[in-house]
Structure 1
Amino acid sequence: MRVLFLNPPFHPRFSREQRSPAVTKSGTLYYPKWLATAAGVAIKNGHEVDLVDAPAGGYSVQAVIDRIEAKNIDAVVCDTSTPSILNDISVIESLVAARPSLHTLMVGRHVSSLPKETLAMSTSLQAVAIREYEYTVRDWLAAKACGADLSSVDGLVWRRGAGAGEIVTNTQRAAIHNLDELPFVSEVYKRFLHTPDYFYGHSLWPLVVFDTSRGCPYHCSFCVYPQTFSGHTMRYRSVANVADEFEYVAREMPEIKTVMLEDDTFIVSKPRTLELAKELIKRGNKLPFDANCRADIGADVEFLSVVHQAGARLFCVGFESGDVEVINGMKKNNDDRRDSKYHEEAHKFVRRCQDAGIMVHGCFMVGNLNETPASMEKTLDFAKALRPDTAQFFPIMVYPGTTAYQEAKKRDYIQIEDWGAWLTKDGLHNSVVTLPNITHEQLVSFCDRARRSFYLAPSYLLYKAKQSLKDRRELQRNLKGFLTLSKYLLKGSEHEKTSAATTPQAPNKTQGATA
């Protein structure tokens, strides 16, 4: 089959694959990692593959249609997200209208959580893949290539027949346990994508992104990937396989300055992390890496120093809230008895990381259950006291498939049903959660104020000036991030907000993505 893997057009630089999809204030744009991995599997199985990341490359819907015609594409695998789902459906409708013989498959967290509901939204939609979809896409393509019945494709929800046909749910597909079977996603990036398009506000640029594991043993109520995709059972790539990909990137992608390890939680098993670190040291790894991490892993300076020697530059940590009751409400820890010590552990972790030479990016969220105006102020004070290298402040974004979404629906905290309302008119993060004593507008406004208070503090500006003078790579990162963030520090999101009635619709099919 000739198959296009598509991250569809929407807002310019709309970061669809990040945990809270949006156009970010820092300029961060995630790689389409899952989509690219599935493309690599399809290549491995003999298909003629194309990959288009429209928000990164500035493709319009018409440009995608023209590419499909020029390459005589048979099938499209289309990524989706909750805030963009209305747009994503419209894109597929346009592609099918232009090429009625086209086979289409939707993937992503939103359709994985609401497959039947999504298919019911348009008769142009043919099928949805559930959860990890690399092998579901592989088997769907094989069935389409030979005209086989789709009933045998595990992990698929599909429409039997044309129009409003019967929606069929197949057997659930087992999670992939041998992750070494998967191709290096960095090879797919190199083949199809322009690496300078992608940027993380906390990372050196350019960067690449890949995983060393899948799954997370924790059950945070808001965290979308473990609940809708990767699950709570840890699965690891072999240490040799991970080290091989580091070597591939260093050898074949010399422009890359850092690797972001997008594991849900990088340090779960300290022995395994230490084994990986020692292998990277043994091989002489020179590529710095950043990773998602928890604060309460009990790591000492000696352990962190070895990980730093292996290349660890920065940990991205979800500190979430400065209030113990809010931490308890989001089920941040598997054992509630740990909640009372959570903030003490966070302070220790940041100081130990700094002593070991590792920076910390702090993630803070407001609007969870038990949130009050006072608890939000505690979170801002907590962020300032921790003194991470960078910080982000989010209003809660509850997504289908998470317990946070179920709880908010149950308590009638979600009062806007339009999926488009998850974003402002310019694609920035919005919140649709209104708590008994805090409106969603107040959540967004608080995050604007918290961001200004954190980043414009004289002590922080002095720290960043010293860091930039000391390291030219950090100077480049700081300038690139600050130039994007500065307009939001001055104006915030207030001028961006809009009502659900004026939320962004599907792009004009004749417009470019940068229109």
Structure 2
Amino acid sequence: MTPKLDVLLVTPPSRDRVFQGLAENLTGIEPPVWSTLLATFLQQKGVSVEILDAEAESIGFDATADKIVEVDAVLTVFVIYGHQPSASTQCMPAGREVCTRTHERAPQLNTMVMGTHASALPARTLSEEPYKFVCCGEGPETVYQLVEVLKAGSQQFSHVPGLWYWSEGTVCSNPNADNFENLDLHIPGQAWDLLDMSRYRAHNWHCFDDIEHRQPYASLQTSLGCPYKCSFCCINAPFGGAGIRYWSPKLIVDQIDVLVNKYSVKNIKIPDEMFVLSEQHVLGICDLIIERGYDLNIWAYARVDTVKDRYLEKLKRAGFNWLALGVESGSKYVRDGVDKGRFGDLDIVKVTDRIKEHDIYIIANYIFGLPDDTHSSMQETLDLAQEINAEWANFYCAMAYPGSPLYERAKAMKSPLPDDAGGPGWIGYSQHGYDSLPLPTDTLRGQDVLDFRDEAFEKYFSNASFLSMIQKKFGQPVVDHIHEMMAVKLKRRHRDGMK
């Protein structure tokens, strides 16, 4: 008789609701990074583990629940992070749908949810969602110690760190586990062997140099946390505060070796919230990649004020063809208001020009509707975006994500939020969703901000200077691809209501 599986790690299917029509061909299909990290830790402890990536398998809520019931693990963990850590909240509804169906079929199953959202609002998550347990904090020790208690047939949960649970109708919680300091020791890599690596796909722009070959693809974590405290960001909710910890360059590049030689991966994302920061880390990884001679196409996050000239040559030689920069706003006054104004008088355009001089492409990220934004300052941001003319631009609306200081501020000011009574719920935190409901500013409604964002997207990607630059760098097939992308129009509930 086959032994019962200890832990099943589940990624519920949320892409279609979060991205609408963009999901089919344009967005990436991301490997479940946190599940692969958890799996490595658990396997080291002798725990049997499998990953069910319903997102990548493109199966629905019912089919996902059926698979969970069929596996019948001691503990089923819904790992809800989204494409990036701040995308956890809008993926919560999909997890709820699957977990509800799972308990309808098999009420006895033990289910847990973990992720940025669950760590930010553990009590509310336990009270409102169908899971039997909630993990608050980093997660590995919580999952491991809970499954050991369950395997022993015990109900003594009071010593499981970071666990929120019910006891005799009362919400109970335990102090969080300490964060791991030595990541190489505790989580020496990602469990790629538990995934069907053929299912994952790079974002469209990531492969503008070779638009027809977006697979295979991998997402490789090289650090945890972020030392900055931007008020719109919830990245540090699972970690209990600002800070960053690294895996060693050798361990990271050894994983790249596996990705290249076992899975033929060329396209790699570094999902760290801030990769270009520590010189020892960045150049250590670059030097080892260059030494081993891999042919890679990597993208990673940086800040305008962390991109040093001495990094750029090495980054390019190592295959870092794209850097994502959080410009956020064209107004220093607005950036200052969200603790992002540390750029001082740094000339953002000069920094982006230096990056381009090294033949590194830029993904520039902008946010509309930050607390001090007006229509005029949002236009400043769009003007700056068009001046920079990055090879890709992401336009976001300010969202008060649970776990961010902006969420606490919005609650205190009684600003309308998606999770208010009568609101769309957690899906309203999706940037690209039908029910998207951004934060209002002092002078603008959330719907006004959303309309400006959608118009800015149209203006940027149809701008003649942008298309001319794309034509020159990547050729007509990518221009045609952008035209196809522009034909996919996002629907918004508030605009449908005006028809």
What is residue 357 of structure 2 aligned with on the other side? 355
What is residue 12 of structure 1 aligned with on the other side? 16
Out of 149, 168, 182, the residue aligned to residue 143 of structure 1 is 149
Aligned partners of 2:74 and 2:151 also within 8 Å: no
What is residue 374 of structure 2 aligned with on the other side? 372
SS where residue 76 of structure 2 aligns?
A: strand
What is residue 308 of structure 2 aligned with on the other side? 299
Using the alignment, how far apart are the partners of 2:307 and 2:246 within structure 1? 21
What is residue 509 of structure 1 aligned with on the other side? none
SS where residue 384 of structure 1 aligns?
A: helix
Using the alignment, how far apart are the partners of 1:497 and 1:299 within structure 2? 44
Aligned partners of 2:8 and 2:51 also within 8 Å: yes
TM-score, structure 1 normalization: 0.84
**Could you give the per-residue CA deviations for residues 399-444 of structure 1, whole angstroms, max 9, x where no partner exists?**
1111011112222322541324515798357234122311111111
Q: Which one is further off, 134-143 or 27-36?
A: 27-36
Matched, 1:210 2:213: no
Matched, 1:232 2:242: yes
Aligned partners of 2:33 and 2:221 also within 8 Å: no
SS where residue 151 of structure 1 aligns?
A: coil
Using the alignment, how far apart are the partners of 1:68 and 1:415 within structure 2? 33
What is residue 259 of structure 2 aligned with on the other side? 249
SS where residue 436 of structure 1 aligns?
A: coil
**Could you give the per-residue CA deviations for residues 15-47 of structure 1, whole angstroms, max 9, x where no partner exists?**
79xxxxx96994234332112321332333333
Using the alignment, how far apart are the partners of 2:396 and 2:435 within structure 1? 8
Q: CA deviation at 1:8?
A: 1.7
SS where residue 356 of structure 2 aligns?
A: helix
Using the alignment, how far apart are the partners of 1:73 and 1:454 within structure 2? 48
SS where residue 65 of structure 2 aligns?
A: helix
Aligned partners of 1:38 and 1:135 also within 8 Å: no
Aligned pairs (5 A) from 1:399-478: 399-416=401-418, 417=420, 418=423, 419-420=425-426, 422=428, 427-428=433-434, 430-469=436-475
Aligned partners of 1:74 and 1:101 also within 8 Å: no
Distance 1:319 1:171, change over 3 A: same
Aligned partners of 1:425 and 1:496 also within 8 Å: no
Q: CA deviation at 1:69?
A: 3.8
Using the alignment, how far apart are the partners of 1:363 and 1:425 within structure 2? 13
**Could you give the per-residue CA deviations for residues 253-304 of structure 1, whole angstroms, max 9, x where no partner exists?**
11x231111111112122332222112212223222110110112511x431
Out of 121, 137, 141, the residue aligned to residue 131 of structure 1 is 137
What code does the residue aligned with 1:413 have?
S
What code does the residue aligned with 1:464 have?
I
SS where residue 341 of structure 1 aligns?
A: coil
SS where residue 433 of structure 1 aligns?
A: coil
Using the alignment, how far apart are the partners of 1:497 and 1:48 within structure 2? 49
Matched, 1:177 2:191: no
Using the alignment, how far apart are the partners of 1:24 and 1:217 within structure 2? 35
What is residue 159 of structure 1 aligned with on the other side? 166
What is residue 322 of structure 1 aligned with on the other side? 330
What is residue 199 of structure 1 aligned with on the other side? 202
Using the alignment, how far apart are the partners of 1:386 and 1:329 within structure 2? 23
SS where residue 225 of structure 1 aligns?
A: coil
**Could you give the per-residue CA deviations for residues 195-231 of structure 1, whole angstroms, max 9, x where no partner exists?**
4443324313222111111121111111121244474
SS where residue 466 of structure 2 aligns?
A: helix
Specify which structure has the bigger relative contact order, considering alpha-carbon pairs within 8 angstroms and separated by 6 or more residues: 1
What is residue 52 of structure 2 aligned with on the other side? 52
State the superposition RMSD in angstroms: 2.7
Distance 1:10 1:288, change over 3 A: closer
Distance 1:150 1:13, change over 3 A: same
Q: Among all aligned residue pairs of Structure 1 and Structure 2, give the percentage whose two residues are the same amino acid.
A: 24
What code does the residue aligned with 2:36 have?
A
What is residue 316 of structure 2 aligned with on the other side? 308
Structure 1 spans left out of the alignment, 5+ residues: 17-21, 500-515
Matched, 1:262 2:271: yes
What is residue 64 of structure 1 aligned with on the other side? 64
**Could you give the per-residue CA deviations for residues 146-174 of structure 1, whole angstroms, max 9, x where no partner exists?**
1342212111111125xxx2211112111
Distance 1:252 1:52, change over 3 A: same
Aligned partners of 1:202 and 1:390 also within 8 Å: yes
Distance 1:237 1:425, change over 3 A: closer
TM-score, structure 2 normalization: 0.87
Distance 1:106 1:497, change over 3 A: farther
Structure 2 spans left out of the alignment, 5+ residues: 81-87, 208-213
Q: Hey, which bits of structure 1, 4+ residues long, moved more than 6 A?
A: none
Distance 1:479 1:128, change over 3 A: farther
Distance 1:210 1:424, change over 3 A: closer
What code does the residue aligned with 1:455 have?
F
Out of 383, 386, 390, the residue aligned to residue 384 of structure 1 is 386
What code does the residue aligned with 2:105 have?
A
Aligned partners of 1:431 and 1:443 also within 8 Å: no
Q: CA deviation at 1:177?
A: 1.3
Q: Which one is further off, 443-452 or 32-41?
A: 32-41
Aligned partners of 2:119 and 2:237 also within 8 Å: no
Q: CA deviation at 1:340?
A: 3.6
Distance 1:267 1:339, change over 3 A: closer
Using the alignment, how far apart are the partners of 1:275 and 1:88 within structure 2? 38
Using the alignment, how far apart are the partners of 1:28 and 1:108 within structure 2? 20
Q: For this pair of structures, how many residues does the alignment match?
A: 472
Aligned partners of 2:118 and 2:125 also within 8 Å: yes
Out of 145, 149, 168, the residue aligned to residue 172 of structure 2 is 168
SS where residue 83 of structure 1 aligns?
A: helix
Aligned partners of 2:74 and 2:150 also within 8 Å: no
Q: Which one is further off, 420-429 or 196-205?
A: 420-429
Aligned pairs (5 A) from 1:99-138: 99-122=106-129, 124-138=130-144
Aligned partners of 1:23 and 1:428 also within 8 Å: no
**Could you give the per-residue CA deviations for residues 319-377 of structure 1, whole angstroms, max 9, x where no partner exists?**
100011110011014xxxx44414x1x22221111111211100100111111110000
